[in-house]
């Protein structure tokens, strides 16, 4: 049932057939990333180079139900939003294991890109351009009633030419409704809005009242980081940063920022969520600032160190590590050249 502001409550979903991945045609190569509940691999699907996110189901019935619900929501959201600054969704399957397939971006995460530049900072026009990419992606999500809840440099991926940023990882995204409360199982403390904290540490799964303005706060911290190329709340642990922001109203210093940008970050990270601007307003403020600064000096992008897009055979380390979740299975039998299956689906059957 839709709410008055265009945000909708979460409903159960059935994956449209056009988004259903055929595991027989999915080939998995080297691992390129890993999170708390998933691993990401380079792969091939129907001769297209892709990123393959494999979500672990968990062990207990409660954990399995929670992760399957999160997977269902992520796929439902990915399948209905499309924007040049969102990682392109290709498809998903839930059996034999939970897999999400997206386009593969070779520029690496924004976190790695910024680290490669330290101690230098991004040219201001480039930093603001990246911020515009992020704001446009967020404006698209919010227009569809989706809160990302985990906006941070690790979830922002660059294209190979390092000219465009795209938003990834909808694992914690939720649809917003003014009539329901949402759990506080949200992103990384350092970038999280203060209203997401209840005590010194967050009680996992506690119901909280909050809305899409949590993303505006996170955006302010990311923008500050883009400009300074420093970790926000430097010298504090994640929990110390969370406590300082939520209970002492501490924020990174905006004193040395140009007036326009200082206005953006300070308005976005205000304690009162209702006082924060929406992303349409943020985009207009960024565009205004961009019009006032001179073109950037040419900068050579850092040398890319990612591997070639080689697809590994089923017995390779990349595929073996994909199936290493079960310690009691033993080694994967090696097939002969004649009967060697090459599909992701078969590898699952062999190992489980």
Q: What tokens appear for 122 in the block?
A: 């991004």
Closest CA relative to residue 87, chosen from 53, 127, 126: 53
- What is the Cα–Cα distance from 138 to 132, expressed in whole angstroms? 10
- What is the Cα–Cα distance from 137 to 219, expressed in whole angstroms? 11
Q: Across the chain, which distance is largest between two alpha carbons, in Å? A: 68
H/E run at residue 101 = strand 98-103
| CA atoms within a 13 Å half-sphere pointing along the CA-CB vector of 1 | 3
Annotated catalytic residue, options 72, 150, 169, 215: 150
- 169 is a catalytic site residue: no
Query: Which DSSP state fits 196?
Result: G
- What is the Cα–Cα distance from 262 to 332, expressed in whole angstroms? 56
Render the burial of 14-25: b for 16+ CB within 10 Å, e for the rest: ebeeebebebee
120 appears as a binding residue in the annotation: no
Give Cβ neighbours of residue 267 (< 8 Å, ≥ 6 apart): 275, 276, 277
Feature table: binding site for ATP: 53
List active site positions.
Answer: 150
């Amino acid at each position: 049932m839709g709410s008055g502001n265009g945000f909708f409550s979460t409903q159960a979903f059935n994956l449209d057939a056009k988004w259903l991945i055929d595991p027989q045609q999915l080939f998995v190569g080297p691992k390129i990333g890993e999170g708390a509940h998933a691993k990401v691999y380079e792969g091939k699907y129907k001769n297209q180079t892709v990123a393959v996110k494999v979500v672990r189901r968990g062990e207990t019935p409660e954990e399995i139900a929670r992760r399957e619900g999160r997977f269902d929501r992520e796929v439902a959201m990915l399948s209905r939003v499309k924007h040049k600054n969102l990682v392109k969704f290709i498809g998903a399957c839930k059996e034999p294991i939970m897999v999400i397939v997206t386009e593969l971006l070779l520029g690496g995460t924004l976190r790695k890109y910024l680290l490669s530049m330290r101690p230098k900072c991004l040219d201001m026009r480039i930093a603001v351009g990246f911020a515009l990419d992020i704001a446009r992606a967020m404006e698209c999500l919010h227009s569809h009633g989706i809160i990302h809840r985990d906006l941070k440099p690790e979830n922002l991926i660059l294209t190979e030419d390092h000219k465009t940023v795209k938003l990834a990882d909808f694992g914690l995204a939720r649809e917003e409704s003014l009539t329901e409360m949402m759990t506080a199982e949200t992103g990384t403390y350092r970038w999280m809005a203060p209203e997401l904290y209840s005590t010194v540490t967050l009680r996992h799964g506690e119901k909280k009242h909050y809305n899409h303005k949590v993303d505006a706060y996170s955006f302010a911290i990311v923008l500050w980081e883009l400009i300074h190329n420093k970790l926000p709340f430097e010298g504090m642990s994640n929990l110390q940063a969370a406590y300082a922001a939520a209970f002492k109203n501490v924020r990174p210093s905006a004193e040395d920022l140009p007036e326009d940008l200082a206005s953006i970050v300070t308005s976005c990270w205000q304690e009162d969520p209702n006082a924060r601007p929406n992303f349409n307003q943020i985009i207009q403020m960024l565009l205004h600032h961009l019009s006032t600064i001179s073109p950037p000096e040419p900068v050579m992008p850092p040398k890319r160190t990612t591997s070639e897009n080689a697809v590994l055979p089923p017995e390779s380390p990349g595929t073996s590590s994909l199936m290493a979740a079960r310690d009691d299975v033993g080694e994967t039998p090696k097939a002969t050249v004649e009967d060697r299956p090459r599909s992701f689906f078969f590898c699952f059957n062999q190992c489980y």
